[in-house]
Amino acid sequence: GLSRVVFSGIQPTGVPHLGNYAGALRQWVNLQRDEPSTTKLFYSIVDLHAITIPQPPDQLRRWRREALASLLAIGIDPERCVLFHQSSVPAHSELMWILSCTASVGYLSRMTQWKSKLNLSASSTLEDKGVGGQLKLGLFSYPVLQAADILIHRATHVPVGHDQQQHLEFARECATNFNHAYGKHLVHPQTLIPPVHRVMSLTDPASKMSKSHKAERSRILITDSPKEIKSKISSALTDSIPGISYDSTTRPGISNLLDILSIFDSQSRSSSELAKEYSDLSPRQLKEMVSDAIISGLDGIRDRYFELLGSDNSYIDKVEADGARKARESAAETMSIVREAMGM
Ligand code: ADP
Ligand code: NA
């Protein structure tokens, strides 16, 4: 029977970048190779999370479709997994409310994401002057919705980056609190850590590659053309130390390029192994290898993406509708257990 139920989500906030791909999405694709009779996969475009920061409606509408097209383009197979928009399944929000009735405000207030989204320091508290007015309830309670996303599908495994581990810990806390009050009905999820380095910004390799970084040259999008990839990599910030070596503290730019090379290396060599192998190359030669590796690693994604968005919408519409139906069925099973346990 089923031994693993995997849940993972991505916000519809533009075309994914290389960091999203290497750190999360590639693993989503690889998990599809697991035996379907033992591993069930839920992949969600979490639009309700995206609105914790105000979104112009036209942009959200476009980004939702672009996110779906991106996932299909990288090889997410809607026959193999349940691929859906979070807001198509109202039970995510319903379970969130229920979990919020046993969740601790103290615990949420110590979490760091709401602080970083408001550009506050990690030591800021709810009591600090001005925070209460700026901080919207949805941004503060976001981790409760994330817990509901996971628990509603009875996920046993959640692939998350290092930055999300705190949230998974909180999801386990939500399950514990609910189970303590109403009986052991919710499943405790485990973390699946992706086996890769964080991809760093190309223009500022001390910080991670992110869609919130202002400079577009700082990131490679999975739909970039070979020309754009070459141009961004060739202008990536490196250093003037001769030769190639791996040390992410003293040589963050070069090390990031080696990490990217390692991500796409057909022989699965580590970044340090690659550094030894190519120790005599110049930065320019290394960059050429890195561009070629990215271009062949992402080959086909761009064409499939534009084909999906360019043609009529019927295929994407069908994927959306099928995914919503399957996800609603899964969520309804948990909700009937939850409601029964609570006397509703
Ligand atoms: P962003 O920082 O661009 O807003 P998200 O926070 O939406 O990206 O992250 C979506 C997923 O991609 C998460 O699982 C996250 O851990 C992963 N991820 C994001 N940026 C990187 C990166 N630079 N390197 C590796 N993984 C990343
Ligand atoms: Na982020």
Domain ranges of the chain: 4-197+312-342, 216-302
The ligand with the least distance to the CA atom of 116 is 2
- In CATH, what number does 216-302 get? 1.10.240.10
Say if residues 196 and 43 touch (Cβ distance below 8 Å).
no
Is there an atom of ligand 1 within 6 Å of 10 CB?
A: yes
Query: Is 326 a catalytic site residue?
Result: no
Retrieve residue 61's tokens. 């509408």
| CA 103/CA 145 separation, integer angstroms | 11
Superfamily name and number for 4-197+312-342:
HUPs (3.40.50.620)
Centre of ligand 2 from the C-alpha of residue 210, in Å: 7
Per-residue confidence of the chain (344 residues) as pLDDT tens digits?
788 999 999 999 889 999 999 988 999 999 999 999 999 999 999 999 999 989 999 999 999 999 999 999 999 999 999 999 999 999 999 999 999 999 999 999 999 888 888 888 888 888 888 888 889 999 999 999 999 999 999 999 998 877 788 899 999 999 999 999 999 999 999 998 776 678 999 999 999 999 888 899 999 999 999 999 999 999 999 999 999 999 999 999 999 999 999 999 999 999 999 999 999 999 999 999 999 999 999 999 999 999 999 878 889 999 999 999 999 999 999 999 999 999 99
How many angstroms separate the Cα of 122 from the Cα of each of 60, 125, 136, 176, 343? 29, 8, 17, 26, 40
Centre of ligand 2 from the C-alpha of residue 39, in Å: 28
Read off the pLDDT of residues 147-178 as tens digits, 9 standing for 90 and up. Answer: 999 999 999 999 887 778 889 999 999 999 99
DSSP 276-293: HHTTT--HHHHHHHHHHH
Read off the pLDDT of residues 176-220 as tens digits, 9 standing for 90 and up. Answer: 999 999 999 999 999 987 766 789 999 999 999 998 888 999 999
The ligand with the least distance to the CA atom of 8 is 1
Which H/E stretch holds residue 192? strand 190-192
Query: Is 214 a catalytic site residue?
Result: no
Query: Is 211 a catalytic site residue?
Result: yes
Is there an atom of ligand 1 within 6 Å of 163 CB?
A: yes
ipTM above 0.85, yes or no: yes
Say if residues 119 and 131 touch (Cβ distance below 8 Å).
no
